[in-house]
Amino acid sequence: MEELENNRKYFEAIDLVSDWIKTYKKTIRSFPVASLNAPGDLLNQLPKSPPQHSISFEHLFEDFKRLILPGITHWQHPKFFAYFPANASPPSILAEMLVAAMGVQGMSWVTSPAATELEIRTLEWLRDLIGLPKNYFGCIQDSASAGTMIALTCARERSLSGKFGNKRAKATQLVAYCSKEAHSSVEKGARIIGIEKEHLRYVETDKDGALLSEDLAKKITEDKKNGLVPFFIAATFGTTSRTAIDPLDQVAKLAEQEKLWFHIDAAYAGAALILPEYRDLAAGYKLADSFVFNPHKWLFTNFDCSAYFVKDRDLLLNTLGVSPEYLRTDVDGDIINLRDTSLGLGRRFRSLKLWFVMNWYGVIEMQSRLRHHLELTKKLQLLISADERFEILAPVTFNLICFTLKLGNQASEKLMKAANKSGKLYLSHTVINGRFSIRLVVGQTDVEEKDVLEAWTHLSQFADEICEN
């Protein structure tokens, strides 16, 4: 009896939620893009302890709308231009719902064979889609940060083991390299695996933010002279600040000469490699030991889903693999267990999202959506550069525009804040050569030309107000 009652509550709630999801999709443009909450706004309204007795779902759902929604920043709003997008899409939302309904935990092959095998196959699809050769093995991580940390861990293992024709290094001798513009996840990963703080070297960059390979070579030489052991370089394809591209082919050459692990962080721009015309920009990427990119940014797969590719699959499995008695199964020798590819034991079934996304759209549609974003970016770039109040501060290689008001840093910051507070669009910022730079990314799943043009109208009006005063 009680079970029937519980089911009824669940089924009715599903209807309410799915209706809301449909309405949300239709009305998303009416929400302020960024939450207008101040710190503590929600905390002050939440009871200090949970209810002793069940409340009705209608009541709970009203609370969700009243309390929670105002504190949500609408990442799927077509006028969300800040940071990098964290795209969702209808197929990936549906897959996430199914996974949640089944509550799949795919730590081992036996704990849901489909979770393991679908991940293997969809990552092969993704690998081929971005033009990586067939000798890469792919798996899903929760974040690019985790991928980079795992790359560091495998590189460390390789250097410490002496099994790869290298001299066995001591952990305290290891030195890692990345450019000054590399993502902070390199620093975090190095810290976690115990690389000494002063043994992470920041290589100089050129005026556009790309790593200077001469400086990398110089630093490696110096370190070796001092008895240290260079072991790892993280190069970036599309830096977070301004999508700068490190000279991957030059880095690859040095990495090969010096026996460094060559990791590529393509967290954001890696998605662009599904477009063959963008692959020349990444020349050398097929030489990487490891390559990470996030379908959960620009590739329509809702957070989280980060694709991590490695050449040496067995090194990955041996480095992270564990097999206590309580996890042993009869098929351990026949197929991999995905727990051996990532940090946690438990593992979400994220490949269902990728599978839904790639089947729902097909390759052609995925490519044309990205090209559409890139074209809209070009249009907006033309509008901004034709307006003499503005200046573009970095090459627009993908769909990120970094620009500023010529009036100066304060005025530009004021412009960004006015835009964000208006709720009409949402922007973020960086600093480029000492100048406050607004970052605007055109990469929402369903962004249309009208969204970009309206955003420009708003920006232009805010600029009028700021330039007048």
CB of residue 268 vs ligand PLP: minimum separation in angstroms? Answer: 4
> What are the strands of the beta sheet with 229-236, ordered from one edge?
137-141, 306-310, 290-293, 261-265, 229-236, 174-179, 200-203
CB of residue 168 vs ligand PLP: minimum separation in angstroms? Answer: 31
Residue 268 binds ligand PLP (CB under 6 A)? yes
Interface stretch with ligand PLP, choices 49-57, 204-212, 262-270, 352-360 (CB under 6 A) = 262-270
Interface stretch with ligand PLP, choices 17-25, 137-145, 166-174, 423-431 (CB under 6 A) = 137-145
Classify the C-alpha dihedral 99-104-105-106 as positive or negative.
negative
The SS3 of residue 364 is helix
CB of residue 113 vs ligand PLP: minimum separation in angstroms? Answer: 27
Residue 145 binds ligand PLP (CB under 6 A)? yes
CB of residue 27 vs ligand PLP: minimum separation in angstroms? Answer: 28
Peptide bond into 304 cis (omega under 30): yes
Residue 183 binds ligand PLP (CB under 6 A)? yes
Strands 174-179 and 229-236: parallel
Q: For 197-236, give the DSSP string.
A: GGGEEEE-B-TTS-B-HHHHHHHHHHHHHTT-EEEEEEEE
What is d(CA 212, CA 209) in angstroms, rounded to the nearest whole number?
9
Q: What are phi and psi of 234, to 5 degrees?
A: -105, 115
Residue 294 binds ligand PLP (CB under 6 A)? yes
Nearer to ligand PLP, 185 or 420 (CB): 185
Interface pick for ligand PLP out of 89, 306, 351, 377 (rule CB under 6 A): 306
CB of residue 240 vs ligand PLP: minimum separation in angstroms? Answer: 4
Residue keyed to tokens 């005063």: 469
Residue 144 binds ligand PLP (CB under 6 A)? yes
CB of residue 393 vs ligand PLP: minimum separation in angstroms? Answer: 18
Nearer to ligand PLP, 151 or 255 (CB): 151
Query: Bridge partners of 174?
Result: 229
CB of residue 123 vs ligand PLP: minimum separation in angstroms? Answer: 16
User: Residue 233: CB partners within 8 Å, gap ≥ 6?
Assistant: 176, 177, 178, 216, 251, 254, 255, 260, 261, 262, 263
CB of residue 439 vs ligand PLP: minimum separation in angstroms? Answer: 11
Residue 116 binds ligand PLP (CB under 6 A)? no
The C-alpha angle with vertex 299 and arms to 460 and 77, in degrees rounded to 5, equals 40
Residue 302 binds ligand PLP (CB under 6 A)? no
Residue 351 binds ligand PLP (CB under 6 A)? no
Q: For residue 291, what are its two tokens? A: 């390559």
122-141 burial string, b = 16+ CB within 10 Å, else e? Answer: bbebbbebbebeeebbbbbb
Interface stretch with ligand PLP, choices 127-135, 143-151, 154-162, 345-353 (CB under 6 A) = 143-151
Query: Bridge partners of 392?
Result: 403
Interface pick for ligand PLP out of 185, 342, 420, 444 (rule CB under 6 A): 185
User: 10 Å Cβ neighbour count for 449?
Assistant: 13
Nearer to ligand PLP, 91 or 189 (CB): 189
Interface pick for ligand PLP out of 143, 159, 399, 430 (rule CB under 6 A): 143
Nearer to ligand PLP, 209 or 230 (CB): 209
Local structure of residue 65 (DSSP, 8 states) = I
Nearer to ligand PLP, 32 or 238 (CB): 238
Q: Which helix (H) or strand (E) holds 430?
A: strand 428-432
Interface pick for ligand PLP out of 96, 246, 265, 312 (rule CB under 6 A): 265
Binding mask 231-260 for ligand PLP (x = CB under 6 A): -----x--xx--------------------
What is d(CA 308, CA 55) in angstroms, rounded to the nearest whole number?
43
CB of residue 184 vs ligand PLP: minimum separation in angstroms? Answer: 8
Binding site for ligand PLP (CB under 6 A): 84, 143-145, 183, 185, 236, 239-240, 265, 267-268, 294, 306
